[in-house]
Amino acid sequence: MKKILPIIFTLLSFVAFAQNRYSKVTTSSFKPMSLSEISNVAMTLQKRYNANQKYLYNMKKWILELKPQIKEKKFISRLNGEYSVLTSMEDDDLGRAAKALKQRENSIREIISEYNTWINIQNNDKTRTTESTQSSNEQNNIEVSNSIGDYVIVSASGTLSDFPNIHPYTKTFIGTQIVPLFSPILEKPDMFNSKQIGKALNSSVRIIEKYNNGYYKVNSEGVEGYLWVGWFEN
């Protein structure tokens, strides 16, 4: 045992020498962010907050415009619920609320889509009742044409002209318009039956032409399509 220990000690000394000779000692360093970098982060968060706040207020305005056009209480109640949720979000960190706001927009779209389906069913029932009582063709045509007004206007195809006689439908927009960041640009002038082909970047769009009182053909960073007039800030 006495002979083994010196050998082990010699080997350990050699290993230590080798490490000291060839190993480089590196020390970790911390480089704090500069004042300009900190300011840029703060400015980015503030821009997101401002954009999402406009997005939220536009959806609340949207709901207020939709409610008078809906005649069934259960759908009005659901819109009231969405309005309450949006109101409760006003004090949240809106800079990080883009996903939650998009979910609220989708919920509102679902309510209107279901309402229009419900209206379709009601109109079909009326048509069958009318046919069963052998009403005249003229009466049928009048009833069908009147039923068009029951649809929520923003979900109707852009060919309809009976948009509400209120701002912003009564105003003609031109040039570059400020809109909430990522406002949906549509393939067709129909908010609920058309697919989204892009988003408004940099919170602005350039108007190409007015389609009707409810929709405009716009361009934003090369994306060209239709935008609902309710997104315009002015």
- Say what the pTM is: 0.49
CA distance 63 to 82: 8
> Which superfamily is assigned to 156-234 in CATH?
SH3 Domains (2.30.30.40)
CA distance 43 to 26: 36
Residue of 183, 224, 186 lying closest to 204 (CA atoms): 183
Digits of tens for pLDDT over the chain (234 positions)? 444 444 444 444 444 444 555 555 556 666 676 766 666 767 888 888 888 888 899 889 889 888 888 888 888 888 888 898 898 888 888 888 888 888 888 888 888 888 888 887 887 776 676 666 655 554 444 333 333 334 444 444 444 445 555 656 778 899 999 988 788 899 998 877 788 898 888 888 999 999 988 889 999 999 999 998 888 877
- HSE-CB for 102 with a 13 A CA cutoff: 9
